[in-house]
Amino acid sequence: KAGVTQTPRYLIKTRGQQVTLSCSPISGHRSVSWYQQTPGQGLQFLFEYFSETQRNKGNFPGRFSGRQFSNSRSEMNVSTLELGDSALYLCASSLEGTSGGNLAKNIQYFGAGTRLSVL
């Protein structure tokens, strides 16, 4: 079974531009979460989607947005890029996204990430 696939792996943008990152979850997984990883702040939760609906959101400005499609694939968008947006963006998927019953649903599997550099 293929893992979580993130594209592209690397991106270079300039300040003020916008960027879209893509994530294809493991087949059958319906929950997709996004995280930002920086040396200073570590791993921070951006948002989570389940059945095309945003279910949870971290403490990031409105320039960060996302969506999920009917096939569970997800995209995140960052508008008006700032230098501080340079980071590794990680996507994770899990089986169903609800607790109770089958505990395996609560395990998140990560992609290799998209490294964004803002110049």
Partner 1 sequence: AQSVTQLDSQVPVFEEAPVELRCNYSSSVSVYLFWYVQYPNQGLQLLLKYLSGSTLVKGINGFEAEFNKSQTSFHLRKPSVHISDTAEYFCAVSDPRGGSEKLVFGKGTKLTVNP
Decide the pairing of beta strands 10-13 and 114-118: parallel
100 binds partner 1 (CB under 8 A): yes
Instruction: Answer yes or no whether residue 12 interacts with partner 1 by CB under 8 A.
Output: no
Residue 68 interacts with partner 1 (CB under 8 A): yes or no: no
Rule CB under 8 A: which of 37-66 touch partner 1? 42-45, 48, 55-56, 58
Considering beta carbons, is residue 6 or 72 the nearer one to partner 1? 6
Is 21 within 8 Å of 6 (Cβ atoms)?
Answer: yes
Does 74 bind partner 1 (CB under 8 A)? Our answer is no
